[in-house]
Amino acid sequence: MDPYLDKAMASAAADARGRIVSTIEATGVVAIIRMKDTGRLEAVVDALARGGVRTLEITMTVPGAVEAIRSVSKSLPEGFLLGAGTVLDAPTAHAVIDAGARFVVAPVLDAGTIEACHARDIPIMPGCFTPTEMLHAWRLGADLIKVFPATSLGPGYLKDVRAPLPQLKLMPTGGVTPENAGDWIRAGAVALGIGSALVDNQAVGAGDYGRIERAARLAIANVSAARGAC
């Protein structure tokens, strides 16, 4: 194949991934969905949408996750992004992409998963804990880096990491809540992964979708306010 054509195709693929990443950054909040009852998924998505969250991640821990992604991807309104989380290997990455996932998130760093996603022009966000892991992931081509688990680290950790490594795009997950969302943004996060503090399984079980909507509104408001103050 013509090397110039190869280069052009690679550039186009990177641009396509970049547009998706830019959308995730602009939204600022990725709602992580780990539901046992997928029958309530549509109502949860509607509540998140009313609260202003339009980037969703369905994890592989959800029963029938691949089919759930396939179903949701067909019904999401324009302007939404649907991704897959807890993706541990290349075959699973291909399966969720085939089902309609527009981005892939992993709790760990796996080079094969990064390669599989990039072969399909899909952004990948591997999970990393240490600066060494983060830089290695970045050099492998990670589009964003999921700082996980962020629960025991705190926003100051991000600020410390980005001081010598400002090129990293970090998305903390675990311990991120609507209430502390602004703290993570001010520390240098480009986006946030929020799970049970946003999609509360008790609220889902009780059919209290208003609680999910209010949490989404608070997260978006705190991200916006923090960005305005930076």
By annotation, the residues acting in catalysis are 57, 146
Residues 6+ apart with CB under 8 A from 49: 77, 80
Residue whose C-alpha is closest to residue 69's, from 91, 92, 100: 100
Residue 194, both tokens: 């929020």
Token look-up 């980005």 returns 162
* Distance in angstroms (rounded) separating the CA atoms of residues 35 and 41: 8
One-letter amino acid of 173 = T
Residue whose C-alpha is closest to residue 174's, from 143, 149, 192, 191: 149
